[in-house]
Amino acid sequence: MRRTAGKLADGREIIYFDDTSDAPPRVAVDTRDLPEPQPRSEVRRDPLTGEWVPMATHRQTRTYKPPADLCPLCASSPGRPTEIPESCYDVVVFENRFPSFAQSVPDISSTVDGMPMVARAAGRGRCEVVCFTSDHNSSFGELTPGRVRTVVDAWADRTEALGGLPGVEQVFPFENRGEEIGVTLSHPHGQIYGYPFVTPKTERMLAVAGDYLAEHGRPVLGDVLAAERAAGTRVVATGEHWTAFVPAAARWPVEVHVVPHRQVPDLPALTDEERDDFSELYLAVLRKLDALYDRPLPYIAAWHQAPVRVGRELSWLHLEVFSVLRTADKLKYLAGSESGMAVWINDVTPEQIAERLRSA
């Protein structure tokens, strides 16, 4: 793989990851006249839950559902420059033009005016866009295993880079797919967030992992993985280094966890063999997901990896893929119990989900 870094017209970084042997040198210049980014992100701590809440008012003007011929994630063409100056690409990563977090945000006061119990800080981090292919009409599930491997290498590269930035406490690669999820750009792409705090879900998972290790002397996800592989009831697909299964306490109508057989804290820690095996297995999982309702499944694919500075010895890297689609034409809405109390109520058992995916 060849890695080439450059700059866009407004100073944002762009990085090409090429696996095609005859890919041209990445020397195209961004000819657009763009204003300098001026993100105004901040975070405030909820005094009732202790959780940080990001606020990024400048994102109200971000691109929203453009037609295919105006897609900003396609390669540039004569007379139509886009976010990617080159006329073709394999995988490309660039700084988000409308970031939730950024390095250049201004410093702000330490508390909200008149509310000394509400801590306030600059939303200092970084947000990047990852384009999986230049083919606008494709999807992650239609990539070749070699191209998925390039994406994995890009995720690992950016995890290391973002984790080294000032203020970043956790790096989160993810993909949103489908309008039902809220996607506003249909080009196959994902994002990477460098959060200025450890997320609430990760904090909770680390606390549970610490308690389990203290009681049993073993990592909780290791025991879960071993039990799922032994039972087989909820296993969807297996490889030499990874297993995909529906968790026994699945919240979503479609939910799959893809877990490496070896405890590693994050994507950079994966071996070449583990990265290759994931590329094959994950494509098999995505094919099953799309076959479930005989339509492209809207989903969120979320990487759970160790924070930058805490809990690394407790973390076990894994990918969570879930969908809000509970039938071919019905959505799972997050209503009173889910949104108000964070208590999910599932309409189907994990065993039923797994059986349907195995048969898909």
What is d(CA 42, CA 99) in angstroms, rounded to the nearest whole number?
11
C-alpha closest to that of 321 among 291, 305, 298, 344: 298
Residue given tokens 């689609």 in the structure block? 325
Q: Which residues of 287-312 are buried (b: 16+ CB within 10 A; e: fewer)?
A: ebbbebbeeebbbbbbbbbbbbeebe
Neighbours of 21 (CB within 10 A): 6
**pLDDT tens-digit profile, the chain (360 residues):** 999 999 999 999 999 999 999 999 999 999 999 999 889 899 999 999 999 999 987 666 666 667 778 899 999 999 999 999 999 999 999 999 999 999 999 999 899 999 999 999 999 999 999 999 999 999 999 999 999 999 999 999 999 999 999 999 999 999 999 999 988 899 999 999 999 999 999 999 999 999 999 999 999 999 999 999 999 999 999 999 999 999 999 999 999 999 999 999 999 999 999 999 999 999 999 999 999 999 999 999 999 999 999 999 999 999 999 999 999 999 999 889 999 999 999 999 999 999 999 998
What residues form DSSP beta bridges with 6?
A: 14
Write a three-state SS string for the chain: CEEEEEECCCCCEEEEEECCCCCCCCCCCCCCCCCCCCCCCEEEECCCCCCEEEECHHHHHCCCCCCHHHCCCCECECCECCCECCCCCCEEEEECCCCCCCCCCCCCCCEECCEEEEEEEECCCEEEEEECCCCCCCCHHHCCHHHHHHHHHHHHHHHHHHHCCCCCCEEEEEEEECHHHCCCCCCCEEEEEEECCCCHHHHHHHHHHHHHHHHHCCCHHHHHHHHHHHHCCCEEEECCCEEEECCCCCCCCEEEEEEECCCCCCHHHCCHHHHHHHHHHHHHHHHHHHHHCCCCCCEEEEEECCCCCCCCCCCCCEEEEEECEEECCEECCCCHHHHHHCCCCCCCCHHHHHHHHHHC
Which residues sit in the known binding site for Zn(2+)? 71, 74, 136, 187
What is d(CA 331, CA 182) in angstroms, rounded to the nearest whole number?
13
CATH code assigned to 2-197: 3.30.428.10
R_g (Cα) of the chain, nearest Å: 21
Neighbours of 60 (CB within 10 A): 8
Neighbours of 318 (CB within 10 A): 20
Whether 58 is catalytic is no
First-residue to last-residue Cα distance in the chain: 34
CB-based contact 234:350 (threshold 8 Å): yes
Q: What pLDDT sits at residue 58?
A: 67
Catalytic residue (one of 58, 189, 261, 304): 189
Residue given tokens 């203020």 in the structure block? 167
Q: What pLDDT sits at residue 226?
A: 98
C-alpha closest to that of 254 among 352, 359, 140, 139: 352
Residue given tokens 């000394």 in the structure block? 116
Cα–chain center distance at 9: 26
Q: Which fold is adopted by the domain 201-359?
A: HIT family, subunit A (3.30.428)
Asked whether the domain spanning 201-359 has the same topology as the one spanning 2-197, the reply is yes
CB proximity list for 256: less than 8 A, separation 6 or greater: 236, 244, 245, 246, 285, 289, 320, 321, 322, 357
Identify residue 152 by its one-letter amino acid code.
V
What is d(CA 190, CA 318) in angstroms, rounded to the nearest whole number?
17
Q: Can you give the residue ranges of every domain in the chain? A: 2-197, 201-359
